[in-house]
Amino acid sequence: MHVRVLGSQDYVPVWQQMQAFTQSRVDSTPDELWLVEHSPVFTLGRNGKMEHVLAPGTIPVLPIDRGGQVTYHGPGQLVVYLLLDIRRKALGVRELVMQIEQSVIDLLANHGVTAAGDRDAPGVYVDGRKIAALGLRVAKGCTYHGLSLNVDMDLEPFQRINPCGYAGLQVTQCKDLGIRQTPLALAGELCEYLAARLQYPVLDWRQN
């Protein structure tokens, strides 16, 4: 599996690159993880309802093609996009979601934080507060989009939405739980957990 470190980027160009990568890949195309931090943006999934966007202010709201409702991306949040051929892996979407959640749970446990998933509301939670959101798209038997982990960011924009469509849902982040590492430092750990859970023996890191 290739791991691409994209740095800080606006949302739309990376989204378009994910779509292009997925449409052009062939049976032999290696799977990839893309690591990125985004400029402030609210994204609204395919079934998302604008009623869950309460007061976006100057932050753009983008309807996109992943599953799920509305979420926020901004500096200090680690976003991991999973560009995987799940047919080749013989991996169902629900199993993939569970393994992604468990990878985040493993990461947090390694730092002394107990977290859990929620079958009815995908993501990872600490004491009922959401710390990681998930949203995927499957095309041609391949996935794109992925997960976002709140690391060290301004959480105020989450108050402008019903996160993931749940009114009153509280969010948290690694910094507030005593995990004082940068998004990129945690990305290295998280990719190792993802590789182990999804059975990729080798990670090939590439700086973009």
Active-site residue, 164 included = yes
CA dihedral 26, 32, 38, 41 (to 10 degrees): 50
Q: Which of 142, 164, 174, 191 is catalytic?
A: 164
Residues 6+ apart with CB under 8 A from 18: 34, 81, 83, 144, 145
178 is in an annotated binding site: no
For residue 125, how far is the Cα from the chain centroid? 14
Alpha carbon distance 185, 181 (integer Å): 6
169 is in an annotated binding site: no
124 is in an annotated binding site: no
* Secondary structure (3-state) at 6: strand
45 is in an annotated binding site: no
128 is in an annotated binding site: no
33 is in an annotated binding site: no
Of 61, 71, 78, give the one whose Cα is nearest residue 175. 78
67 is in an annotated binding site: yes
71 is in an annotated binding site: yes
Count of Cβ atoms closer than 10 Å to residue 12 Cβ: 14
68 is in an annotated binding site: yes
Q: Which residues belong to the active site?
A: 164
Q: Which residues are annotated as a binding site?
A: 66-73, 133-135, 146-148
Q: Which residues are annotated as a binding site for substrate?
A: 66-73, 133-135, 146-148
